[in-house]
Amino acid sequence: MHSAPSQNPALAASLILAATTFIAATTLLAKALGTDALGAPLHPMQISQGRFMFAFFGISAAVLALRPRFQRPHWGFHIGRTSCGWAGITLLFASVAHIPLAEATAISFLNPVFAMLLAIPLLGERVGPWRWGAAAIAMAGALILLRPTPAGFQPAALLALGAAAVMGLELIFIKKLSGREGPLQVLWVNNLLGLLIASCAVLPVWQMPSAAQWAALAALGLVMACAQACFINGMARADASFVAPFSYATLVFAAVYDFAVFGVVPGWVTVLGAAIILVGAAVLAWRETRPRPAGPPPASV
């Protein structure tokens, strides 16, 4: 077990906002690498391999400088968490090459909904009407973004939906890891395992990146490492109910970056679907972090 840092809501909010700018930047870099913006498009698995490689280098440098005391990792939970994280980020990187960043980001916000659904069989949790209602609202927003009509359906949106589902499973493993190990150890082990998994998976599709693509891959990994560090430290310094709304700023930054670099203007369907998903996610976050009465757990929440 590790000692928790002191509570500081203002610092927590700043850290979470910083994390959202970094996370949105990683999707922007992934889009540039997955399209012809920097040369011949790279395969999503190569983009995720670069993300884990350079993030591991950055976090290893921090470990060498800070020399934290590591304890024995729970390898089973780490392997499960990292496998899901690698699969989720690869699917997300694949989707942003074909659909607007704002849409892919909004759909990825469904991961808490999938985590709630998976917690029923995997953690034995019981789900009450409030949580089912929040999930239904978020899923309605996703359905709008998927545009399930012959004229508007975008198959790439299913990649983002798959990313959200796998990342929902990752949250189950993160919940099991919570409190067991220090943040820097979790980051280092996660990126070490991610690099190993991604390096094996990329072999059939790897191609030599251009100089600009190498620079973008390095930036992607280092920016993701910064995002992870900010997010974990922000979550540790305030209640989840306080910091959760700030994480939704990722959607705003993704839309701004997409417009500034690629000239993509979100349409009314994107705005409507994203807003509905955010409402559902916010209701679910509020319900998940609401104080529970002492004593035996209620029959439903």
Q: How far apart are the first and last CA of the chain?
A: 29
Of the CA atoms within 13 Å of residue 286, those in its CB half-sphere come to 11
* Mean pLDDT taken over the chain: 87
> How far is Cα 65 from Cα 226, in angstroms, rounded to an integer?
16
206 token code pair = 């790897």
Please report whether residue 295 resides in a domain.
no
Instruction: Quickly state the pLDDT bin for 190 (edges 50, 70, 90).
Output: very high
- At residue 151, the pLDDT reads 66
- At residue 292, the pLDDT reads 52
Q: How many domains does the chain have?
A: 1
> How far is Cα 3 from Cα 69, in angstroms, rounded to an integer?
12
The whole-model pTM stands at 0.86
Report how far Cα 251 is from the mean position of its chain's Cα atoms.
12
pLDDT tens digits along 153-163: 788 899 999 99
Q: Categorise residue 179: left if φ over 0, alpha if ψ from -120 to 50, beta otherwise.
A: left
> How far is Cα 271 from Cα 213, in angstroms, rounded to an integer?
31
Please report whether residue 15 resides in a domain.
yes
pLDDT at 257 over 60: yes
Sequence-distant (≥ 6) Cβ neighbours of residue 85 within 8 angstroms: 167, 170, 190, 194
56 token code pair = 């591991």
Please report whether residue 2 resides in a domain.
no
Helix (H, G, I), strand (E, B) or coil at 54: helix
Please report whether residue 4 resides in a domain.
no
pLDDT tens digits along 216-249: 999 999 999 999 889 888 877 877 667 777 888 8
264 token code pair = 């993509």
Please report whether residue 34 resides in a domain.
yes
Please report whether residue 13 resides in a domain.
yes
* One-letter amino acid for residue 49 of the chain: Q
253-274: burial string, b at 16+ Cβ within 10 Å, e else: bbbebbeeeeebebeeebeebb
Expressed as residue numbers, the domain containing 78 is 9-289
- At residue 123, the pLDDT reads 82
Please report whether residue 294 resides in a domain.
no
pLDDT at 293 over 60: no
Count H helices, E strands: the chain?
Answer: 12, 0
Helix axes 9-34, 240-247, angle to 10 degrees: 30
Please report whether residue 1 resides in a domain.
no
